[in-house]
Structure formats: C-alpha cells, structure tokens
C-alpha cells in the first residue's frame, strides 16, 4: 500500500519546523536511512544535511530560501535512474508536496516544511567529477501563512 502524503502532513505540523526532532520522530514518516523515501515509485519524504555530513550529496540553497537544489541518489560514480531518482521525477508530474528533514547533528533533525519537486537536471559536477541528478525543490507555503 502506498503511504499517502496526506498522512505525512497530518503527522508533521508546521509547528514542528521550530523544534528539534529525534531520529525516532523523523522515522515515523521517513522509514529508511536513505535520503529518498519512496514506495512503489511514489515519493513520501526526503532527508538532507546540505552536504555537511555526507559530502557526496551536495544539496544547496538556490538564490532564495524558497528553493533547494537536491542531489539525487547514488554515492559513487555517475548517478543512475534508481528507484529513488525515478520517484523524484514522478513527483514533478504529480505535483504533490513532501516533508523535508534536515540533519543538524547526530540525533538532531529539523522539519523544513513541505516541498514540491519542480525540475530535474542531469549535470556534470566539477567538484565530484561525476554526473549527478539535481532536482529543484520549491517550498510550499501553508494556506494559513499566505493570508
């Protein structure tokens, strides 16, 4: 059964973006240590650390705090169209938003809100000397804060 993004939203409120979470709290939604959690091609949630703990995934902020460049799945060599990368591509088509969790330190996580995958590029990374999938994530503004 595909876990619904709606249930992820119900499990993590916007208030959670202000408090630190334990791994046990994050794992209630993100049920794997991998950065991309998907079920049968449906993207459920994402992890990042902005390359602080895992430099092979150099996620970064775009020009604003509303966009992130998220690195696809694959630690060594050129990244391929793995199930995780396919789920990110499928999320562009579906347009659904997923929670993003940022690892601050061991056992300390921050819920960064909900994000939509809006673009995918397969690019050569000069620093890593390999091909990477780079996905653009766009922050979803909750309806109550848009008033």
Q: What is the pLDDT of residues 89-137, one digit of tens each?
A: 999 999 999 999 999 999 999 999 999 999 999 999 999 999 999 999 9
> 116 to each of 20, 37, 44, 52, how far by Cα in Å?
22, 14, 11, 23
Note the pTM of the prediction, 2 decimals: 0.86
Count of C-beta atoms within a 10 Å radius of residue 108: 12
How many helices (H) does the chain have, and how many strands (E)? 3, 8
DSSP 32: S
The pLDDT tens digits of the residues spanning 51-83 come to 898 888 889 999 989 999 999 999 999 999 999
The whole-number pLDDT of residue 67 equals 97
**What 8-state DSSP symbol labels residue 4?**
P
pLDDT class for 4, splitting at 50, 70, 90? very low
CB 120 within 8 A of CB 102: no
What CATH number is attached to the domain comprising 39?
A: 2.30.280.10
Total domains, the chain: 1
57 lies in which domain range? 5-145
């Amino acid at each position: 059964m595909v876990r619904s993004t709606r249930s992820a939203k119900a499990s993590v409120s916007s208030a959670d973006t202000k408090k630190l979470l334990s791994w046990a709290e994050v794992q209630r939604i993100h049920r794997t240590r991998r950065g991309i959690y998907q079920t049968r091609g449906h993207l459920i949630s994402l992890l990042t650390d902005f390359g602080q703990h895992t430099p092979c995934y150099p996620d970064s902020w775009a020009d604003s705090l509303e966009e992130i460049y998220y690195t696809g799945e694959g630690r060594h060599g050129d990244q391929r169209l793995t199930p995780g990368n396919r789920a990110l591509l499928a999320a562009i088509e579906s347009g659904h938003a997923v929670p993003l969790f940022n690892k601050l330190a061991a056992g300390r996580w921050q819920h960064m809100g909900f994000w939509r995958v809006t673009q995918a590029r397969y690019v050569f990374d000069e620093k890593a000397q390999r091909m990477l999938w780079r996905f653009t994530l766009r922050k979803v503004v909750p309806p109550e804060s848009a008033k």
